[in-house]
Amino acid sequence: MKQPLLLFHVLVLFPALELIAAGPPPDKDADPVIQGVYNKFAAMKNISKRHVCPEGKHQSGDNCCDHCEPGYIKEKDCTASSKTICKNCVEGKEYTEDYNYLSKCQRCSSCDAAHANLGWIAAIIVPLILLPILFIIWKYWYKKDRMPRTRSQDEQETAELKPSIYQDIDLTTHISDIAEEMTLEQVMKFVRKRGLSNPTIERIKLDNIHDASEMKIKLLETWFQENGIKGAYGTLISSLKDLKQYTLAQNIVQKIDLHIQNNANVPVYQNMASLEESCHR
């Protein structure tokens, strides 16, 4: 009994399948029964054409869309010309654990509890750490403000230089001693302040590029030659004072005084006015 029934189904469906394979009816006046069969099988044919997306992608219409990464959800479906647009979940409140195509994040109850605990911990620990540090800083500055100022600090800022007990001095034999007390930067500032030309400075630098000590001596010697012997000592001290180099100037004065005391035959000039005027200016 089953075989005749199966044969009957084949005989009925076969013409319909041939009809669909042949395409739409030739005209609008086709038999309504045939038209209905055609439409039904055409729909089934279209359904069979829909493909299945590969693993890791999501079916959206006719498109296979990429999944969003963990911690993100879909904001906008992909299209034929654009990829899936994802947005991240609110950190500490929401989450997604795996790759997904969800449009809403999952609520993170355990995260909320952890962040409440972190807040309390921070509120307790941070003050415990900061308070001792702030106390140490306050104590340091408090003591520093109450400490009496040392003589050297006052001398560097306000003290007047003590003039040399000697009169205007020929610096010819003292240039190297002066250079020893000064850094190259201090020498450069001094000679520029006293008007030594840039071409001259650059020439001396190039001639002594590998010997900073010799460069300092040559710069001071050139300034001394252009300035002249008389008044050079007072000019040096007053210029260093103008440059706020009080300690340096005092060291030079002391060094030259000591050198003169040990070499009594060093010539001095009987014109102290220029030195005293420059030191008290």
pLDDT one-digit tens code per residue, 72-115 = 999 999 999 999 999 999 888 888 989 999 999 988 775 555 55
Q: Residues 164, 274: one domain? A: yes
Q: Residues 167, 262: one domain? A: yes
Would residue 89 count as lying in a domain? yes
Buried b (16+ CB within 10 A) or exposed e, 30-41: eeeeeeebbeeb
Q: What is the CATH number of the domain that holds 199?
A: 1.10.533.10
Q: Residues 205, 99: one domain? A: no
d(CA 99, CA 81): 22
Beta pairing class for 85-88 and 94-95: unpaired
- Domain of residue 77 covers 57-107
Q: Residues 101, 168: one domain? A: no
Would residue 270 count as lying in a domain? yes
Total domain count, the chain? 3
Q: Residues 27, 75: one domain? A: no
pLDDT (tens digit, 0 to 9) for every residue of the chain, 281 residues total?
445 555 555 555 555 555 555 455 555 555 655 565 555 555 555 544 456 888 889 898 889 999 999 999 999 999 999 999 999 998 888 889 899 999 999 887 755 555 576 666 777 887 888 888 888 888 887 776 665 555 445 444 444 555 555 557 788 888 999 999 999 999 999 999 999 999 999 999 999 999 999 999 999 999 998 888 788 888 899 889 999 999 999 999 998 888 888 876 544 444 444 444 544 44
Q: Residues 8, 32: one domain? A: yes
Long-range contacts of 209-217 (CB under 8 A, 24+ apart): 212/184, 213/179, 215/184, 216/179, 216/182, 216/184, 216/187, 217/175, 217/176, 217/179
Would residue 183 count as lying in a domain? yes
- The reported pLDDT for the residue numbered 273 is 45
Q: Residues 80, 191: one domain? A: no
Would residue 64 count as lying in a domain? yes
Q: Residues 163, 270: one domain? A: yes
Q: Residues 171, 71: one domain? A: no
pTM: 0.39
Q: Residues 22, 72: one domain? A: no
- The reported pLDDT for the residue numbered 158 is 44
Whether the Cβ atoms of residue 274 and residue 168 lie closer than 8 Å to each other: yes
Q: Residues 258, 172: one domain? A: yes
